[in-house]
């Protein structure tokens, strides 16, 4: 455990309240009462001054490079740009381009205008999330064909309408779906014609958020009452909702790995005291047993 920075505290607290709505005034607190004084101390301070600014190549600059190097991939163009850049290190630095290049490589095979490719590669995506990355490629492919990415089409991809969660794997999947909806909204601000259902997506995301919150409460209560790591193996394996969302065990394993890597959902549960290290170890044992049995059945 460590204390967050003043700027992080102000940024988080700044999300409380929304100007011009019935919740115009926001309130901020802490999960544990003992931490409230720390929060008050952080919010009373001035953020640390910025000493450097990050620089990122613009679309115009990459277009110029592409004109002179037409055979280079988009990712290679970024590498060339960085290698030729000269900055005053005391004031500036080149932003980390690994995520940008990762997305560029993912959609390199898809025919896209350079400007559109640049925008897609700027999308805020966690590249460790397999389901989200897969949907990112599908979005780019439909865009390249000038096909509208409608809510009707998206529903088939994400398993809408959503069901009540019954396993932790269900909850992880819904977290991934939530990130997909976030990606849709981000792209809809930039490609309004081909992402026309932003309002519908926004409404469904609100419902999904409530479903995830309810699932967290129910599942943690179930885990706390579990006395054996093997109690829920058959329930997880036979769960119909999970089977409808994942085509095979390999995809299940990739989604489940977000739990055991201490991903966003797990970190949230651990930090709020809703999931303990013992519970996490129980889940790991359960999943290992499921994987072992499934592998044995395939043989």
Per-domain boundaries in the chain: 1-49
Identify the pLDDT of residue 240.
Answer: 39
Q: Give Dmax over CA atoms of the chain in angstroms.
A: 65
- DSSP secondary structure code for residue 248 in this structure: S
Burial (0-12, 13-18, 19+ Cβ within 10 Å), 99: middle
Contact 73, 95 (CB under 8 A): no
Which neighbouring-strand residues pair with 55?
Answer: 94
Contact 127, 133 (CB under 8 A): yes
Q: Cα 124 to the chain's mean position, in Å?
A: 8
Identify the pLDDT of residue 299.
Answer: 53
Q: Which of 100, 185, 107 is nearest to 143 (CA)?
A: 107
Quickly tell me which residue has 């110029």 as its tokens.
Answer: 64
pTM over 0.75: no
Q: What is the pLDDT along the chain (299 residues), one digit of tens a residue?
A: 788 889 888 888 888 877 777 777 888 888 888 899 999 999 999 888 888 898 888 889 888 888 888 888 888 888 888 888 888 878 888 888 888 899 999 999 999 999 999 999 999 888 888 899 999 999 999 999 999 999 999 999 988 888 777 777 777 888 889 999 999 999 999 999 999 999 999 999 988 888 888 877 776 665 654 433 434 444 433 443 333 444 333 333 343 344 444 445 555 555 555 556 666 666 666 556 655 655 555 55
Contact 177, 158 (CB under 8 A): yes
The gap between the terminal CA atoms of the chain, to the nearest Å, is 45
Which neighbouring-strand residues pair with 93?
Answer: 54
Identify the pLDDT of residue 223.
Answer: 63
Question: Which sign does the torsion angle of CA 169, 171, 177, 182 carry?
Answer: negative
Q: What SS3 class is residue 19?
A: coil
Contact 174, 252 (CB under 8 A): no
Quickly tell me which residue has 């096909």 as its tokens.
Answer: 147
Name the token pair of 259.
Answer: 């739990």
Q: Cα 297 to the chain's mean position, in Å?
A: 33
Contact 131, 173 (CB under 8 A): yes
d(C-alpha 60, C-alpha 64), whole Å: 6
Task: State the CB neighbour count (10 A cutoff) for residue 228.
Answer: 10
Residue 41 phi/psi, 5-degree rounding, is: -65, -45
What stretch of H or E contains 7? helix 6-13
Contact 102, 127 (CB under 8 A): yes
């Amino acid at each position: 455990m460590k204390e967050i920075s003043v700027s992080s505290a102000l940024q988080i607290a700044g999300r409380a309240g929304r100007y011009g709505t019935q919740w115009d005034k926001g309130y901020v607190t802490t999960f544990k009462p003992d931490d409230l004084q720390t929060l008050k101390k952080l919010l009373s301070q001035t953020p640390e001054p910025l000493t450097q600014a990050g620089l990122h190549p613009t679309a115009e600059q990459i277009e110029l490079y592409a004109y002179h190097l037409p055979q280079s991939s988009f990712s290679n163009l970024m590498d060339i740009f960085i290698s030729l850049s000269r900055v005053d290190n005391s004031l500036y630095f080149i932003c980390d381009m690994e995520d940008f290049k990762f997305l560029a490589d993912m959609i390199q095979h898809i025919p896209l205008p350079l400007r559109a490719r640049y925008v897609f590669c700027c999308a805020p995506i966690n590249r460790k999330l397999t389901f989200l990355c897969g949907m990112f490629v599908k979005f780019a492919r439909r865009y390249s064909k000038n096909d509208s990415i409608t809510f009707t089409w998206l529903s088939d991809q994400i398993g809408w309408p959503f069901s009540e969660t019954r396993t932790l794997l269900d909850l992880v999947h819904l977290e991934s779906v939530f990130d997909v909806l976030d990606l849709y909204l981000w792209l809809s601000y930039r490609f309004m014609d081909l992402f026309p259902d932003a309002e519908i997506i926004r409404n469904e995301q609100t419902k999904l958020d409530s479903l995830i919150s309810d699932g967290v409460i129910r599942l943690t209560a179930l885990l706390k009452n579990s006395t054996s790591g093997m109690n829920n193996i058959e329930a997880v394996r036979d769960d119909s909702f999970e089977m409808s969302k994942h085509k095979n065990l390999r995809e299940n394993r990739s989604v489940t790995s977000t739990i055991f890597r201490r991903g966003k959902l797990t970190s949230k549960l651990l930090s709020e005291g809703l999931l303990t290290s013992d519970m996490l170890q129980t889940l790991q044992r359960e999943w290992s047993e499921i994987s072992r049995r499934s592998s044995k059945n395939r043989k």
